[in-house]
Structures are given as C-alpha cells and as structure tokens.
Amino acid sequence: MNSFTYYSPTRVIFGAKTTDQVGGHIKHYGGTHVLVLYGGGSAVRSGVLDRVTESLAAAGLSYECVGGIRPNPRLSFAQKLVDEYQGKGFDFLLAVGGGSVIDTMKGVSMGLSCGSPIWDFYEGKRSLTANLPMASVLTIAAAGSETSASSVLTNEETGVKRGVNSDFNRPLFAIMDPELTYTLPAYQTACGVTDIMMHTLDRYFSDSETDYLTDAIGEAILRDVMDAGLLALAEPDNYTARSEIMWCGSLSHNDLTGLGHGRDFSTHQLGHELSAKFDIAHGASLAIMWPAWARYCCSANPRRFAELGRRVLKITEQNDEIAAQLTISGFEGYWQRIGMPVRFSEAPEIGVLSEELLSELAHRCSYFDTRTVGFFRPIETADMLEIYRAANR
Ligand code: NZQ
Ligand code: ZN
C-alpha cells in the first residue's frame, strides 16, 4: 500500500425524513442567509423544495431559491449566478438536487469567495484558496459530489467539460434521505448506479494489487450497488434498495475506494467528451466507454480483470485471459439489463459517428495531444481513437 492522506470531512446525515432537519444543521454551522439552488423542476414537483424552505424558515433563516440548473451543468449559468449574487450577503449555499446542482453550487462558491471568471479554476489557471460554507440535500444517488472534492462544468462556448478538484469543494454536510429518490425515472436510477460502479472501477484499475482492504471495499460496493440497482428498478420505493444505492454513491467517490493507489479515470475522461459534444447523461456515457476501454486495455493485466470478475460476478473460469473477457461482458451485460446503452448506436443522442467526429473526440480528450490519461494503462490520442472506434458499433 502506498502512502496516502485521507480527508473526507463532510458530515453525513442519513435516513428517512432527514430532509426536514436541514435548517437546524445550517444554523449549527452559523448560516443565516441561504442561497438555495435546484435543478429543472423535479424538486418543486416532488415537494422537496417546500420541505427544505419550511425547515429553513423554522430555523429562523432567510433564503432565496433559484432553479434552472440542467444536467451536464453549464459554466454560463454558474457564472451568471456569481455575477447576480455577488455582494448580496449570502453566507451559506445549499444545493437541492444531484451532481449537476451540487457542482454548480461549488462553482458559485468559487466565484463568490475567490473571484471571477470561475472557468480559470477549471482550466487550472488559478487555485482555490477559500469557499463559502455549503451543503446539499441529495435527490439522486450518482455523482458522489455531496462528499467529493470535485466540481464538473461544461463550457458550452468551447464544448469543453472540465473538473476541478480541491478540498475547498468539499461540502460541510450532506442530507441523504433515500426516500427522496423514489421519484427518479428508471433511466436516471440506472445512470446513477452506473456512475457509482464507475467511480469504483475507475479506481480499481491501478498500479497496485496489494491493497487488499481497499479492493475488498470496492468489490463490496460493486456487488451491493448492482443488486440494489436491480431491486430499485423493480420496486422504485423500496427503502432498502434506495438506501444501499445512496450510501454506495458517497463511499464510491469520497476517495475511500482508491486509498493506497493511483486512480485511472480514463473512462470518465473519454465519457466527458461525449457529454460535452452530445449532452448525453454522464452515467450513460460511462456504460458505453468502459467496455471499449476495458477490451482495449485488458492485456496490460488480464489477471486484475479476472480476479475482479471472480469476486464480484462469481466467474469460475480459471484461465485469466478467458475470465477477463467474461468479466468485461459481465459488466456490459448488467448495464444492458438496466437499460444503459453500451455502444454509440444505442444512444439516441449519439448514433453512429463519422471517422472525422471520432478523431475530434480523441483529440479533445487528449487536450489536443498534450496529455495522456489513465494509470492502469496510460492512453494517448491514437489509443483514444481506437477506443472510440470500438464503441462506434
Ligand atoms: O433537474 P431536475 O428537474 O431536478 O431533474 C434531474 C435531472 O434531470 C433528475 N432528478 C434528480 N433528482 C430527482 C430527479 N428526478 C426525479 N426525482 C428526483 N428525486 O435527474 C436528472 C439528472 O440529475 P443530475 O444532477 O444531472 O444527475 P447526477 O447526480 O448524475 O449528476 C451528473 C453530473 O455530475 C457530474 C457529471 O459529469 C454530470 O455533469 N459528476 C460530478 C462529480 C463530482 N462533482 O464529484 C463526479 C462524477 O464523476 C461526475 O462527473
Ligand atoms: Zn462519474
């Protein structure tokens, strides 16, 4: 196990009806004037936003609500919020939603505390030095942003989707009320399960095979979220299934599953180009890219894939090369079963792509030939092109 620092300071308030405690927790952290952010309207339709504002009012807090954040959240919207709310005296930010709302909140925090333009942080031109106190009421288990150090926005002018990692992005607390996820459409539940799996898989494929506890935690999360995903799709208001998915979502992306080794994240990088170009849901982009990445990179260490399959998918094949291929088809088959696309042609937003577009995706993913991505097997533009070609079926 390599040396590591583990820092996951977000307080988790987990359980049914915890939503109604949000005002008290903000007060505990000293918030008085709260900017509440939400998405395209599900929080209004489900009544969650009303419950949140009632709780804020009961705690004696003033607040303003602003909605309209969309999936694959846009830089321009986050920057507009910064410009609009600068100097208005808000001392606490609250996201009511999923990764898109939470990531926008983190972008707003950057602008209000460190100045504009916020894209500088995403491009790595400036580093974060402060933040505003912030928290979330999570309505979809997926991105893990409720405890993560990341924020991911899309610059729609340049078609670039970028993330910024900093401990200043870590929220103070997260309300995780599994009942809030009962209203999720099946497709969003499946996208969330896929993203949770990928936060684990993108860390599992690393430079080390002796991080036994870290591996075991990752394998348990995979087994659990896959079973719970099937149950939640069959019974959307099954509390046990929704709880398991929600807790897996945070543990898969609060760095616990990567301790002691490097993180690959090639699939995420390849997938971000698809979301930036075609506005496809993040989870769906990953279900397409992982099988193509895995088949391309498997030869770097087939035994790693084989052992994962034996431990998670109960594969009994003893030959590592064959077991590795069964592992890849096993995950691919699971995603098909829960309704995810696993190739471009199955995603209505994408379809079959021209060679020119595949090349553009590869060049963008390598920041125009200036970087390689990945740890398990570092990939450069030519590799990315082959992987995109493999997904283009
Ligand atoms: O916008 P509304 O109307 O609220 O609808 C949302 C949205 O359409 C809907 N939804 C959420 N909760 C619901 C609900 N519908 C009914 N009932 C509910 N309870 O679900 C849709 C997707 O929401 P979104 O917030 O986009 O989902 P997710 O949490 O998957 O976030 C995806 C974003 O997070 C980024 C992704 O790239 C993507 O932009 N990620 C952020 C990470 C991070 N900050 O650590 C890491 C991830 O790898 C990822 O990159
Ligand atoms: Zn993800």
Q: Which residues line ligand 1 (CB under 6 A)?
A: 39-43, 46, 71-73, 97-101, 103, 139-140, 142-145, 148, 150-152, 180-181, 183-184, 188, 191-192, 195, 253, 268, 282
The predicted pLDDT at position 76 comes to 98
The SS3 of residue 391 is helix
- Quick one: which H or E segment has residue 289? helix 282-297
- Of the pLDDT bands very low, low, confident and very high (cuts 50, 70, 90), residue 312 is very high
Q: Which of 213, 365, 174, 187 has its CA nearest to residue 283?
A: 187
Same domain assignment for residues 138 and 234? no
pLDDT in tens, 158-190: 999 999 999 999 999 999 999 999 999 999 999
57-71, 185-199, 255-269, 379-393 — which is least confidently predicted?
A: 255-269
Among protein residues, the one whose CA lies closest to atom 37 of ligand 1: 282
Same domain assignment for residues 289 and 143? no
Q: Which residue among 36, 42, 110, 242 has the greatest number of ligand 1 atoms within 8 angstroms of its CB, and so is best to mutate?
A: 42
Same domain assignment for residues 234 and 369? yes
Same domain assignment for residues 312 and 284? yes
- Of the pLDDT bands very low, low, confident and very high (cuts 50, 70, 90), residue 203 is very high
pLDDT in tens, 41-53: 999 999 999 999 9
What does the block give as tokens for 393?
A: 């079926």
Residue 96 is part of a domain; what is its CATH number?
Answer: 3.40.50.1970
- Dihedral of CA atoms 137, 139, 140, 144 in degrees, nearest 10, equals 0
Same domain assignment for residues 291 and 320? yes
Final residue of a structural domain among 180, 214, 232:
180
Residue type, 285: S
- Of the pLDDT bands very low, low, confident and very high (cuts 50, 70, 90), residue 384 is very high
Q: 313 lies in a domain?
A: yes
CA of 88 to the centre of ligand 2 (A): 33
Q: Characterise 345 by phi-psi region: left (phi > 0), alpha (psi -120 to 50), beta (else).
A: alpha
pLDDT in tens, 103-150: 999 999 999 999 999 999 999 999 999 999 999 999 999 999 999 999
Same domain assignment for residues 258 and 278? yes
**Angstrom distance (rounded) from CA 95 to CA 135:** 6
The predicted pLDDT at position 209 comes to 78
* Residues of the domain holding 115: 11-180
Cα dihedral sign for 155, 158, 162, 164? negative
Same domain assignment for residues 242 and 380? yes
| Phi, psi angles (nearest 5°) of residue 304 | -60, -45
Residue 335 is part of a domain; what is its CATH number?
Answer: 1.20.1090.10
Same domain assignment for residues 279 and 207? yes
pLDDT in tens, 90-103: 999 999 999 999 99
Among protein residues, the one whose CA lies closest to atom 15 of ligand 1: 184
What does the block give as tokens for 285?
A: 């982009």
Final residue of a structural domain among 180, 200, 231:
180
| Burial of 259 from C-beta contacts in 10 A (0-12 / 13-18 / 19+) | middle
Residue 208: pLDDT over 80? no
379 touches 372 (CB < 8 A): yes
Same domain assignment for residues 202 and 129? no
CA of 212 to the centre of ligand 2 (A): 24
Same domain assignment for residues 382 and 254? yes
Final residue of a structural domain among 165, 180, 195:
180
175 touches 139 (CB < 8 A): no
Mean pLDDT of the chain: 97
Same domain assignment for residues 42 and 65? yes
Count of domains observed in the chain: 2
Same domain assignment for residues 235 and 139? no
pLDDT in tens, 228-247: 999 999 999 999 999 999 99
Average pLDDT of span 47-76:
98
Residue 310: half-sphere exposure toward Cβ, Cα within 13 Å: 16
Q: 1 lies in a domain?
A: no
